[in-house]
Chains A and B, each alone.
Chain A
């Protein structure tokens, strides 16, 4: 440990930050699920759901805004979605992860960034 720290403390700090980011995201999903008291509805689905316009219409307002933004952007991070919706990044991250749990979006990590997209 001290050897790694001695070699490059910046790398280690980056790794800690990355882990904290992931932990944060998980917490955000958890909080969001509790807030909505709909945990039972958000069971991870085996089959991906189609995010068509009728589905968009049936989503609650806060999730619809996020889902429409992802449809427009194609593939984006929570930060990029937040720029469009003018809501906080943490809020969008929670909503995006909820949409992943519902089976409407896919999530892919590249380094420190998590990208969300609709699987076509």
Chain B
């Protein structure tokens, strides 16, 4: 059966969305059937990255119980130049929708958790998808914790920012561990000089691992090319030879065996 992967972080701007998109593209490139969902209802962004205007229904509607998931998913396969399948579920970026999603009560969130949990059946079993990648909102948000509870694997993205590292450490102890989730950490945007020699690289891995007491799945350097692209490129598709793409493909392999 396929797996649900939630990509989460303590702080915003760690690179969750870019990694989620490229991870999905990496799986699709390998011939896998993959679906990526935008569960960041506070600041939706997948519509912009994929340059999709949305369909009649959004993920908001699915969680509201207004439609089934098939009505929400858009087929991005023709644009992803891949051997597999790539489906996208968008969050509604309109201000009214953001306001609506921020005012949901606990009962609604409980039902939303049930709807997310049922995706395992509808997407992984019935539609036979290999991976469901959930891009989430940073911190302790209902939608993010719902995704974490539904996920088989949680990938936490952190930068070297001290507040980010400390927050991530707290979430490991007070969130992921409490739900007994398979969790791994990705250190992103690490200055290149930290990784310039094997000795430096080893000491960086050791330092992060000692802090987090969890496996560090990958340390990704900070690439000006990635920043320069401004979230308009899917590196795995557009620049497959770029080091960033190689890193993402290695992460995809590691998740398969995690």
Contacts and interface: CB of A to CB of B under 8 A. Distances in A.
A53 interface: yes
Interface stretch (A13-21, A37-45, A65-73, A108-116): A65-73
B224 interface: no
B98 interface: no
A71 B107 contact: no
Interface residues of B, number: 18
A53 B113 CA distance: 8
A64 B106 CA distance: 17
A64 B111 contact: no
B178 A120 contact: no
A53 B142 contact: yes
A89 B174 CA distance: 28
B111 A120 contact: yes
User: Chain A interface secondary structure, helix, strand, loop or mixed?
Assistant: helix
A71 B114 contact: yes
A46 interface: no
Contact of A118 (B114, B145, B146, B149): B114
Interface residues of A, number: 17
Nearest to B147: A53
User: Chain B interface secondary structure, helix, strand, loop or mixed?
Assistant: helix
A54 interface: yes
A5 interface: no
B178 A57 contact: yes
A68 to B, nearest CB: 6
A61 B178 CA distance: 7
B113 A65 contact: no
Nearest to B117: A72
Contacts of A65: 180
A24 interface: no
B106 A52 contact: yes
B67 interface: no
B63 interface: no
Contacts of B111: 120
B127 interface: no
B250 interface: no
A72 B115 CA distance: 10
A53 B117 contact: no
A76 interface: no
B107 A54 contact: no
Nearest to B143: A53
Contacts of A71: 113-114, 117, 149
Interface in B180-206: 180
Given A64-B178, A65-B180, A71-B114, A56 B109 contact: no
Interface of A: 50-57, 61, 64-65, 68, 71-72, 74, 118, 120
Given A64-B179, A120-B114, 17 more contacts: A50-B109, A50-B110, A52-B106, A52-B107, A52-B109, A52-B113, A52-B142, A53-B145, A54-B109, A55-B106, A57-B174, A57-B178, A64-B178, A68-B149, A72-B117, A118-B110, A118-B114
Complex A-B, nearest 5 residue pairs according to Cβ-Cβ distance, in ascending order: A50-B106, A53-B145, A52-B110, A52-B109, A52-B106
